Amino acid sequence: MRPFNTLDLGVLVLYLAGVIVWGAWLGRGQHGGRDYFLGNRELPWLAVLLSIVATETSTLTFLSIPGVAYVGTLAFLQLTFGYLAGRAVVAVVLLPAYYRGDLATAYQLLESRFGRATRRFTSAIFMVTRLLADSVRLFATAIPLAFITGWPYGLSILVIGAVTLVYTYLGGIKAVVWVDALQMAIYLLGAAAAVVALQLLVPGGWSGILSEAARAGKTSVLDFSVTAAAPYTFWAGLVGGGFLSMASHGTDQLIVQRLLTCHDLRASQKALVGSGVVVIGQFALFLAIGLGLWAFYGGQAFPRTDEIFARFIVEELPPGITGLLIAGVFAAAMSTLSSSINSLASASAYDFFAPALRVDRDDQRTLRAGKLFTLLWAMLLVGGAIVFIPLSRQAAAVEVALGIASLVYGGLLGAFALGLLLPASRQGHAMVAMAAGIGAVAVLWVVARQSVAWPWYVFIGTAVTFAVGSVAARLAPATAFAQPNAGPPREGIAAEGSE
């Protein structure tokens, strides 16, 4: 393996230093929690769009998706069709509810409909899920760094986490969003460099790559087979991907926080739906790189599909370009990690700290608490990534992270569906239903993982949650599930008898 030379190191160090300095500059003059976590709702929709795409484009996407095409076909692209459809539903149904009130987190919406206990329960679910899934993502980022430097994974994780923490702590959501936009440009530039390199390194260039891949049946996109066991079919993509997107972009504070930084509903809708269009093109690019790598290596088997693109970056690209690609890997990882840290801190501050101490209107105190929570969650994410190291050989990282999120997303989305579609439902109904939905998917994952693929988990969890909530609302009297802490209906989903 070619060593990481001075030019590559210089490119990487320059990038990391620039991100820290710019992030700190963007965070100057912060005046309170709303400024730190919501940017005073003044961020342009295009920057938010790019931030959404960069946030969901972790190192898993940058490194693992080419590996998916390497060992398979382009069928993964079918998921993005559902991603776009799910975003459209959120833009029409949920975003107007968010913008009817002065909300800081996604889970305030459920408090206004069901009560404070529901808000805390769903926020806690978000925190646990985000901690587990993004610990996996952070570990995946350490793979190429360990390849280049020879550092152990633990040290690599510490370096990545420390750099990300600095600009996230100093800059808040403004730094997160604007640095995300820069980072998206960096990793797409790196991907473009890989495309050019493959054109030069593979005999016949891209026409030869695509011809050879077509003959091997690797360029197929659509699979209309009806089977729950296959993760990448048209139906799993449209239905499973759609429900996954509705949950991740409609109920997950990681994305909802960005949508709430826009000036108004229309801008937020443009950012959300536009991100779905961009994601389709981006996934197509990374999958195409996977086909190019397959042609370059002649279909050679590798111990881990996550390492194929990383190996190509390190061993085959010229000095300087390798540094650019590794900066792209860092960009993809840091955009997701910074977003996770900031959203976890905002949920902690607004869903737990401020209500518990009755300081909801004390913006300065919320800001101070939010910065402390930023430090805490960064340490927990780094620690979680280190814990994942001995488990990393058991499955592809991209599927581990998506599987973790899919376990609970159905319960969250089902709760929002109950609030919107079933006026008779109350806090107790929603809590029991969420527990049933999450529990059902967890059991399914344990006993029938080989029979039901992960893209179906959110759909199943949502269906179980809504069904149990509907039955509970019908069988149990409304007075048995009173909601004394519910806020005024005008601030969120309409409560029974209001709209």
Q: What is the 3-state secondary structure (H, E, C) of 146-159?
A: HHHHCCCHHHHHHH
Report the candidate in 46, 448, 88 with the shortest Cα–Cα distance to residue 243. 88
pTM for the model stands at 0.86
Q: How many domains does the chain have?
A: 1
For residue 267 the two structure tokens come to 């801008």
Contacts of 445 (CB under 8 A, 6+ apart): 403, 407, 457
- The predicted pLDDT at position 155 comes to 85
Q: Is residue 429 part of a domain?
A: no
> What are the C-alpha distances in Å from 470 to residues 20, 123, 250, 433?
50, 22, 21, 9
- The predicted pLDDT at position 437 comes to 94
Report the candidate in 84, 43, 337, 44 with the shortest Cα–Cα distance to residue 174. 43
For residue 224 the two structure tokens come to 């209309």
Are 100 and 108 in contact by the 8 Å Cβ rule? The answer is no
**Tokens 């998921």 sit at which residue?**
79
Are 82 and 472 in contact by the 8 Å Cβ rule? The answer is no
For residue 238 the two structure tokens come to 């449209």
Cα 344 to chain centroid, rounded? 13
- The predicted pLDDT at position 399 comes to 58
Contacts of 183 (CB under 8 A, 6+ apart): 19, 54, 331, 332, 334, 335
* Alpha carbon distance 245, 242 (integer Å): 5
Are 460 and 440 in contact by the 8 Å Cβ rule? The answer is yes
Q: Is residue 83 part of a domain?
A: yes
- The predicted pLDDT at position 1 comes to 52
CATH number, domain of 48, equals 1.20.1730.10
Cα 166 to chain centroid, rounded? 21
Helix-helix angle 321-347:6-26, to 10 degrees: 30
- Other C-beta atoms lying within 10 Å of the C-beta of residue 45: 20
* Alpha carbon distance 61, 393 (integer Å): 18
Are 328 and 62 in contact by the 8 Å Cβ rule? The answer is yes
Contacts of 416 (CB under 8 A, 6+ apart): 94, 109, 110, 250, 251, 493
- The predicted pLDDT at position 56 comes to 84
- Other C-beta atoms lying within 10 Å of the C-beta of residue 158: 16
Are 428 and 472 in contact by the 8 Å Cβ rule? The answer is yes
Report the candidate in 65, 44, 18, 67 with the shortest Cα–Cα distance to residue 302. 67
For residue 100 the two structure tokens come to 């009817």
Q: Is residue 444 part of a domain?
A: no
Contacts of 274 (CB under 8 A, 6+ apart): 45, 49
Q: Is residue 477 part of a domain?
A: no
* Alpha carbon distance 357, 257 (integer Å): 22
Report the candidate in 265, 335, 253, 344 with the shortest Cα–Cα distance to residue 93. 265
Q: Is residue 204 part of a domain?
A: yes
16: DSSP letter = H
Taking 3-state DSSP, the helix, strand and coil percentages for the chain, each rounded to the nearest 5, stand at 80, 0, 20
Q: Is residue 271 part of a domain?
A: yes
**Tokens 């509810």 sit at which residue?**
97
Report the candidate in 92, 231, 207, 169 with the shortest Cα–Cα distance to residue 370. 169
Segments of the chain scoring below 50 in pLDDT? 394-395, 479-499
> What are the C-alpha distances in Å from 181 to residues 224, 315, 334, 401?
36, 29, 12, 23
Helix-helix angle 265-297:308-316, to 10 degrees: 70
Q: How many residues does the chain have?
A: 499
Q: Is residue 426 part of a domain?
A: no
Q: Is residue 56 part of a domain?
A: yes
Angle among Cα 288, 270, 179 to the nearest 5 degrees reads 65
For residue 108 the two structure tokens come to 């305030």
Q: State which residues form the domain around 214.
A: 6-394
